[in-house]
């Protein structure tokens, strides 16, 4: 019995995403720490001068893993400018993520490391405001493995940001502006996507 065309396409798409993830992980492994730092610093300056960043009050940003653009300087600036800063708490074994409020840049050192090596607030941390329980978000900085110039994003395959953006759409303040932070090595000719993949509004990288 032949596979229905839809199933075959879905399987081909999954395979294409898997192959591209492998290639991007290799490219990232080849990037030295000094080069990552150089591009991260440059992107930090682009962000701080960005009109959308300047007008946003409530901002969600990821705490970087070693193969991601380093966000520490941006986080310090968010507090310096008196904006509100929210960071992800991922629920393992699901695609659920919350954006919880940080009280200061130093607050990061009080967070626990998860099994994925990501710092995030603990499950028992009920004192932090979840962004959508309050005034929503104006801007989300998005991580990802790869991006194309049309705004298509290849995540790590769990769907955390896509499902969170769906929740944002239901919030009275509406969908926040999304900016992906990428090393130039993460920008691809084209990224395979399904209709559930939410494109980002803008990709910031060295040559953008």
| Helix H or strand E segment including 99 | strand 97-102
- Asked whether residue 142 carries a pLDDT value surpassing 90, the answer given is yes
Question: Is there a binding annotation on residue 158?
Answer: yes
- Asked whether residue 46 carries a pLDDT value surpassing 90, the answer given is yes
Burial of 148-184, coded b for 16+ CB within 10 Å and e otherwise, reads beebbbbbeebbbbeebbeebeebeeebbbbbbbbbe
pLDDT in tens, 55-110: 999 999 999 988 999 999 999 999 999 999 999 999 888 889 999 999 999 999 88
The pLDDT of residue 1 is 44
Question: Is there a binding annotation on residue 60?
Answer: no
Tokens standing for residue 157: 């395959």
Question: Is there a binding annotation on residue 160?
Answer: yes
> 41: which residues sit within 8 A by CB, 6+ positions away?
73
The pLDDT of residue 193 is 87
| pTM of the entire predicted model | 0.92
DSSP 8-state class, residue 201: S
pLDDT in tens, 118-130: 888 987 777 899 9
Question: Is there a binding annotation on residue 90?
Answer: no
Question: Is there a binding annotation on residue 153?
Answer: yes
Please give the Cα distance from 112 to 123 (Å, whole number): 10
Please give the Cα distance from 116 to 52 (Å, whole number): 31
**What domains appear along the chain, each with residue ranges and CATH number?**
5-204 (3.40.50.10420)
Contact (Cβ atoms closer than 8 angstroms) between residue 136 and residue 173: yes
What sections of the chain are H helices per DSSP?
5-29, 33-48, 51-55, 72-80, 160-170
Question: Is there a binding annotation on residue 145?
Answer: no
């Amino acid at each position: 019995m032949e596979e229905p065309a839809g199933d075959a396409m879905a399987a081909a798409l999954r395979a294409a995403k898997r192959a591209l993830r492998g290639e991007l992980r290799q490219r990232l492994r080849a990037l030295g720490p000094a080069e990552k730092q150089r591009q991260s610093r440059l992107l930090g300056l682009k962000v701080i001068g960005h009109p959308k960043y300047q007008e946003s009050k409530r901002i969600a940003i990821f705490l970087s893993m070693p193969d991601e653009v380093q966000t520490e300087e941006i986080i310090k600036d968010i507090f310096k400018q008196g904006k509100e800063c929210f960071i992800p708490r991922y629920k393992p074994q699901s695609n659920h993520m919350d954006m919880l409020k940080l009280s200061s840049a130093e607050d990061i050192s009080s967070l626990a490391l998860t099994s994925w090596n990501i710092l995030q607030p603990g499950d028992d941390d009920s004192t932090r405001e979840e962004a959508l329980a309050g005034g929503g978000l104006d801007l989300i900085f998005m991580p990802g493995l790869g991006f194309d110039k049309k705004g298509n994003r290849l995540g790590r395959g769990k769907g955390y940001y896509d499902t969170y953006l769906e929740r944002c759409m239901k919030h009275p303040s509406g969908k926040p502006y999304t900016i992906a932070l990428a090393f130039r090595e993460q920008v691809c000719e084209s990224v395979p996507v399904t209709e559930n993949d939410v494109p980002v509004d803008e990709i910031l990288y060295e040559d953008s």
